[in-house]
């Protein structure tokens, strides 16, 4: 930012002093701060203790705090689930925005059901966008573990639509 | 009235459309690429749809993704903002075919005015003065030389489908023509997949003056006066203001009425801008932008008319509520575009904004989608905020802009605020003695 | 012109004064308590002086510290803002003795208008209607009862030196008078060290309408129309707007001209506000505030006149540049005071603001000294931002305020934004059917 | 003190001096500061003698270069001084805004000089505010180690005006 004509209340000596005190009292090894065009690095002598990293000096608050709160609980949910799920699970993500269909026609059988064994290249579902029916094929061999989207529901780009267990 | 508008854009203009929707009580749908998931336009819209990966061609420019997003969210209209698909006649056409209102003029008018040499021909027919030059594309080097001799050097070569300075070459003599012609042609081909060029008289010290047009579906067209955008670098505007310090009331009337005549000739609907080059009492039509412009707040500030709300109401079929004679200019307004770039080398400077404090107080408006902690991505345009001031006089407006720039704190990335301050303190700028060459001259010193 | 102005205040109003100084090219000096060292008014002023510890009585209210700060920084004028020393005649007097211009009216006028019962007497003499009541302080309970009977119940008892609702009691009948009189007297004593009370007719559903006055040193006094501030809780204003939805043009002219008559009678200089209670076509002088008000941006928005700049120029001895007949109202403006408090229990909620994102776009002004990471201290007033909107009509202004409130993100502390939204969505509020009882009634439901 | 506008925001000698003091007094090993085109790194070796680097990073034509050249000799002086300073130092802070005077009258002897022994209650200086002369008395017994403010200079509330060594 521009050099303002006012006194810079950024990193004055008093603040540096306080930072030194803080560093001394802490178990940290080093403090590095950038503020406007000032960069400051304070370092303690090498110690035996394990190095502790506390990165953001300035709290990296997001405008989206509410959402990140939700995200945490969502993460918790996902994590719980993840414990059941093996590392061999494959997430089928929607390659486009559109409407998800499980079957080729309203009264037809769905392409796949939970528990089905699928082969690479097999059609898993259809995503309709602009009246075009896009068949989504499996990229892996495996067993359908979960179908995340209801028939005829909208999906976003990148949304997980199915989970396939490739470890069978 | 529309029930739900999909905003086919990102950044500050997407927010601007959302504000208008909220004030009109219309629901809004944000579309976004995956890296824009934490953007403010996503947060403030009523709904959001992720439409693709970061690359614009796979998201904000991908017509099927945007139409599909409108379909799954049941939006009945799309606002394209500026840039991206805003001047794409095919997109406007597809919207129409899908029964979604495109908030802008008809696909036919977008197509007509989008081709610069066609637009020029049409305006000539409408009696709008155009810069002497080729009547449409020049077919060969020989033709280019012959026309250039006719209208006298210097001349400028431009890409027919061009924009943003690409495929442009100033030619000062016959000797230079061959190289310039070939270079401009290959640039045009590379940038726009169309190598046709046109040629016109090159003005040495022109001012960029543009007229804001507003039309309804019933042939009512008014102008909201002019803006001057002479402070630019490589055809990228940096500071815009209104009214232009160059125009007398008589000239203002003449240029604005001419713009309305041109717009009426093509049966223009919705908001649009007629751009002119002005030099010494003469003005020449340059091009028409068939969309809302970045600098629209300048006009909103001097007329107290909300252009985005006007666009939506017009697209909805409302009749024009303003009468030309009631449009009054109040005070002076100015906009500085704050870009995430090195202030003097102009290299983009994306990154995380660690502190973002916007100025406030009287006469200061900030349009931005940035916030403390947000990341300015290298994928999109470097505009991070528009700082707009209004005051009773141009001088007061500059003083206000200066204090607003001085109290705009952006940390973590470089911005062009120091350049703006330098311009504002320039004596010639203060006197209003500017041209499109101003910035080049200031920087070369 | 002044060379350097010391700003004897903190928070948004200190910044507001600094903006005006910057626009006028005058240097500014911020004074601050030790805990305010990281405040924006300190950052943006040209110089700063730490004047004492957090407690106001030891810093912002400490006259010797402020005068010493002005002396060591060579300031030639002091702007007192609102609150703190702004209506302290002794402070204005000391400034004069020290040859520092106090930006405001003379100490004599501050003293005269600061005593509510004296002010009322004076205005009565000037032909300004006042609420029927005691002529000055009531000496005894018997006198209070006799006057009350005369002007008919209900009546209200008020502290002569009072403000902020302290020492006030509404009395509906003779029986209630004794207790009310004693209670009000002890409250007045405790709060203002002065137990004198006056009494007046109590209006059941009054509106708070005030007139902005501006005067120079040569007897020229104009008004900048009225503001309505009926949305208040315990005499603390929450939402202010202009013009008042209650006034006809004829009534507006009458009330504003009456205010000017009153101001002329006391030879008023600088900015000031005449507050009236308005009920059913009648209006009564309540008090005069001899300083800039929190809600001054509302008037700035409808008149396009910068009140702070006007204050400075007037104090400097400039002649009034505005003529009454040239003052025009453009559109409608509204201000919501954003306080750090629980929106429904009104308990102050100081703390650290973890996210602070202000709304932008057309017609939105934000006056604030808060920022992401700042700490709202429990030592001072809970006002953290003033959100001001303007639009062509009252309805548009409310829609704009609503969307601005919805996109104002303040995290880390509680604010009254939810209360503002609730008020804005109220049917009676939307229709402009408000009174000073509005909020009480809304909250009691 | 009133913050001077502009120009003195860089890393001038005084500031470097103070930074060195801070590093010396602390248990830290290193301080690194960048400000505009100046880069300063102060580092304590494992041994006793501090190694000091002051070098401008970018334009070698910087105005501050000359100053940094001079710095070394200044630093030497500071070092000497610093070795004497103990944790028993007492900072005398200004209780008010005003103008600092070392003596009761223009031509009088100063109340105290560096090296003087002072007693609790003894007048150290005067701070003038609104024409009132406020005598500032010592809160401790000790020896005057440093006087931070020049005679007739302004002081802010809370500013350190003197340092008294109470450990004698």
- The C-alpha of A102 sits at a distance from chain B's nearest C-alpha, in angstroms, of 16
Chains D and B touch (3+ CB pairs under 8 A): no
For residue A4, pLDDT beyond 70: no
Task: Give which of B296, B393, B383, B280 is closest to B338, Cα–Cα.
Answer: B383
Q: Which of residues 366-405 of B touch A (CB under 8 A)?
A: 371-374, 405
Q: Does C357 touch chain A (CB under 8 A)?
A: yes
Domains of chain B, earliest start first: 4-103 (3.40.50.20), 132-201 (3.30.1490.20), 207-443 (3.30.470.20)
pLDDT (tens digit per residue) in D51-97: 333 333 333 333 333 333 333 344 334 444 444 445 789 999 999 99
Chains D and A touch (3+ CB pairs under 8 A): yes
* Minimal Cβ distance to C366: which of B360, B363, B368: B360
> Average of pLDDT values for C146-168?
85
> Average of pLDDT values for A110-121?
96
Contact A9 C355 (CB under 8 A): no
Q: Which of C25, C46, C352, C355 to mutate to test the interface with A (most CBs of A within 10 A)?
A: C355
Span of A49-63, A73-87, B257-271, D134-148 with lowest mean pLDDT: A49-63
What pLDDT is attached to residue D71? Answer: 36
The four Cα atoms A139, A145, A146, A147 give a dihedral, to 10 degrees, of: 40
| Pairwise CA distance, residues C80 & C101, whole Å | 11
* Minimal Cβ distance to C361: which of B19, B360, B409: B19
* Minimal Cβ distance to D29: which of A7, A21, A44: A44
φ and ψ at residue C185, rounded to 5 degrees: -65, -45
* Minimal Cβ distance to B68: which of A35, A60, A98: A98
Span of A4-13, B291-300, D109-118, D124-133 with lowest mean pLDDT: A4-13
For residue A5, pLDDT beyond 50: no
Q: Look up residue D154 and give its two tokens.
A: 């302004």
> Average pLDDT, whole number, for chain B?
95
What pLDDT is attached to residue D58? Answer: 32
pTM score, two decimals? 0.81
Which residues of chain B are within 8 Å of residue A4 when distances are taken between CB atoms? Answer: 406-407
Q: Look up residue C52 and give its two tokens.
A: 């004492």
Task: Give which of A131, A132, A124, A130 is closest to A151, Cα–Cα.
Answer: A124
| Pairwise CA distance, residues D146 & D141, whole Å | 15
Helices (H), B126-163: 141-151
Who has greater pLDDT, C73 or A167?
C73
Contact A96 B421 (CB under 8 A): no
| Pairwise CA distance, residues C147 & C139, whole Å | 11
CB distance C148 to C138 below 8 Å: no
Q: Low-confidence residues of chain D, pLDDT below 70?
A: 1-17, 24-27, 33-41, 43-86
Q: Which residue of D has its CA nearest to C95?
A: D130
CB distance C356 to C372 below 8 Å: yes
Q: Which of A17, A21, A33 to mutate to test the interface with D (most CBs of D within 10 A)?
A: A17
- The C-alpha of B419 sits at a distance from chain C's nearest C-alpha, in angstroms, of 19
What pLDDT is attached to residue C116? Answer: 84
Chains B and C touch (3+ CB pairs under 8 A): yes
D88 contacts: CB under 8 Å, gap ≥ 6: D142, D165, D166, D167
- The C-alpha of C292 sits at a distance from chain D's nearest C-alpha, in angstroms, of 27
- In this complex, which chains have at least 3 CB pairs below 8 Å with chain A? B, C, D
| Pairwise CA distance, residues D56 & D61, whole Å | 9
Q: Which residue of A has its CA nearest to C410?
A: A63
Q: Does A148 touch chain D (CB under 8 A)?
A: no
Q: Which of B373, B412, B414 to mutate to test the interface with A (most CBs of A within 10 A)?
A: B373
Contact B361 C399 (CB under 8 A): no
Instruction: Give the N- to C-terminal CA distance of chain A in Å, as an integer.
Output: 58
Q: What is the CA radius of gyration of chain D?
A: 18
CB distance B290 to B113 below 8 Å: yes
Which residues of chain D are within 8 Å of residue A17 when distances are taken between CB atoms? Answer: 22
Q: Which of C361, C374, C389 to mutate to test the interface with B (most CBs of B within 10 A)?
A: C361
- pLDDT band for position A39 (50/70/90)? low
pLDDT (tens digit per residue) in C206-239: 999 999 999 999 999 999 999 999 999 988 999 9
Which residues of chain B are within 8 Å of residue C40 when distances are taken between CB atoms? Answer: 357
> For chain B, what percent of residues have pLDDT higher than 90?
87
B3 is catalytic: no
Which residues of chain C are within 8 Å of residue A35 when distances are taken between CB atoms? Answer: none
CB distance B203 to B131 below 8 Å: yes
Which residues of chain B are within 8 Å of residue C355 when distances are taken between CB atoms? Answer: 371-373
pLDDT (tens digit per residue) in B38-84: 999 999 999 999 999 999 999 999 999 999 999 999 999 999 999 99
Q: Which residue of D has its CA nearest to C51?
A: D157
Q: Does C303 touch chain B (CB under 8 A)?
A: no
* Minimal Cβ distance to C42: which of A9, A59, A61: A9
| Pairwise CA distance, residues B380 & B359, whole Å | 25
Which residues of chain A are within 8 Å of residue D160 when distances are taken between CB atoms? Answer: none
Exactly one of B169, B227, B291, B337 is catalytic; name it.
Answer: B291
Contact A41 D19 (CB under 8 A): no
- pLDDT band for position C5 (50/70/90)? very high
pLDDT (tens digit per residue) in B118-164: 998 999 999 999 988 888 899 999 999 999 999 989 999 998 887 66
A-C C-beta contacts closer than 8 Å: 37
| β-strand pairing of D123-129 with D154-155 | unpaired
List of long-range contacts for C134-142, beta carbons under 8 Å, 24+ apart: C134/C198, C134/C199, C134/C200, C136/C198, C137/C196, C137/C197, C137/C198, C138/C197, C138/C198, C138/C199, C141/C177, C141/C178, C141/C181, C141/C182
* Minimal Cβ distance to D130: which of C50, C53, C68: C68
pLDDT (tens digit per residue) in C273-331: 999 999 988 999 999 999 999 999 999 999 999 999 999 999 999 999 999 999 999 99
| Pairwise CA distance, residues B227 & B211, whole Å | 6
- pLDDT band for position B193 (50/70/90)? confident
Q: Look up residue B269 and give its two tokens.
A: 């609907």
B288 contacts: CB under 8 Å, gap ≥ 6: B113, B119, B123, B262, B263, B272, B273, B274, B275
């Amino acid at each position: 930012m521009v050099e303002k004509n006012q006194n810079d209340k950024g990193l004055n000596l008093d603040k540096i002093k306080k930072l030194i005190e803080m560093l001394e009292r802490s178990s940290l090894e080093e403090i590095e701060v950038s503020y406007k065009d000032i960069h400051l690095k304070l370092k303690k002598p090498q110690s035996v203790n394990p190095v502790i990293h506390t990165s953001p000096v300035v709290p990296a608050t997001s405008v989206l705090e509410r959402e990140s709160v939700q995200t945490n609980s969502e993460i918790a949910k996902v994590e719980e689930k993840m414990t059941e799920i093996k590392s061999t699970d494959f997430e089928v993500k929607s390659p486009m925005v559109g409407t998800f269909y499980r079957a080729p026609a309203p009264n037809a059988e769905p392409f796949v059901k939970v528990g089905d064994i699928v082969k690479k290249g097999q059609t898993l579902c259809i995503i309709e966008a602009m009246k075009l029916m896009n068949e989504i094929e499996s990229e892996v061999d495996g067993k359908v573990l979960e179908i995340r989207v209801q028939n005829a529901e909208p999906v976003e780009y990148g949304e997980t639509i199915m989970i396939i267990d490739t470890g069978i | 009235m529309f029930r739900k508008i999909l905003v086919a854009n990102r950044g500050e203009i997407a927010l601007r459309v959302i504000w208008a929707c909220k004030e009109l009580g219309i629901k809004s749908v944000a579309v976004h690429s995956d890296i824009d998931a934490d953007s403010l336009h996503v947060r403030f819209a009523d709904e959001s749809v992720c439409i693709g990966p970061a690359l614009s061609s796979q998201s904000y420019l991908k017509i099927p993704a945007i139409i599909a997003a409108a379909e799954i969210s049941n939006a009945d209209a799309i606002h394209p903002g500026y840039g991206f698909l805003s001047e794409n006649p095919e997109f406007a056409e597809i919207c129409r075919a899908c029964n979604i209102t495109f908030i802008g003029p008809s696909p036919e008018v977008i197509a007509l005015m989008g081709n610069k040499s066609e637009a020029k021909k049409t305006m000539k027919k409408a009696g709008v003065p155009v810069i002497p030059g080729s009547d449409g594309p020049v077919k060969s080097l020989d033709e280019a030389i012959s026309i250039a001799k006719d209208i006298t050097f210097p001349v400028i070569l431009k890409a027919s489908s061009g924009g943003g300075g690409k495929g442009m070459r100033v030619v000062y003599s016959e000797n230079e023509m061959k190289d310039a012609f070939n270079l401009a042609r290959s640039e045009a081909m590379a940038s726009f997949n169309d190598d046709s060029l046109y040629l016109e008289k090159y003005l040495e010290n022109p001012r960029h003056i543009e007229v804001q047009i507003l039309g309804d579906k019933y042939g009512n067209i008014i102008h909201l006066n002019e803006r001057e955008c002479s402070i630019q670098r490589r055809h990228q505007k940096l500071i815009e203001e209104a009214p232009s310090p160059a125009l007398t009331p008589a000239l203002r009337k003449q240029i604005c009425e001419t713009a309305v005549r041109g717009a009426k000739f093509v049966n223009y609907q919705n908001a649009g801008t007629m751009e002119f080059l002005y030099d010494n009492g003469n003005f020449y039509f340059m091009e028409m932008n068939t969309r809302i412009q970045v600098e629209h707040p300048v006009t909103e500030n001097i007329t107290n008319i909300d252009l985005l709300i006007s666009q939506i109401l017009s697209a909805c079929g409302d009749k024009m509520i303003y009468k030309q004679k009631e449009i009054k200019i109040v005070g002076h307004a100015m906009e500085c575009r704050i870009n995430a770039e090195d202030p003097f080398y102009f290299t983009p400077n994306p990154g995380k904004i660690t502190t973002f404090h916007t100025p406030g107080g009287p006469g200061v408006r900030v349009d931005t989608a940035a916030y403390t902690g947000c990341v300015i991505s290298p994928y999109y345009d470097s505009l991070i905020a528009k700082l707009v001031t209004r005051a009773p006089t141009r001088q007061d407006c500059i003083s206000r802009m200066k204090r607003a720039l001085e109290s705009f704190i952006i940390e973590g990335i470089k911005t062009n605020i120091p350049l703006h301050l330098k311009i504002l303190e320039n004596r010639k700028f203060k006197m209003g003695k500017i041209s499109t060459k101003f910035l080049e001259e200031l920087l070369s010193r």
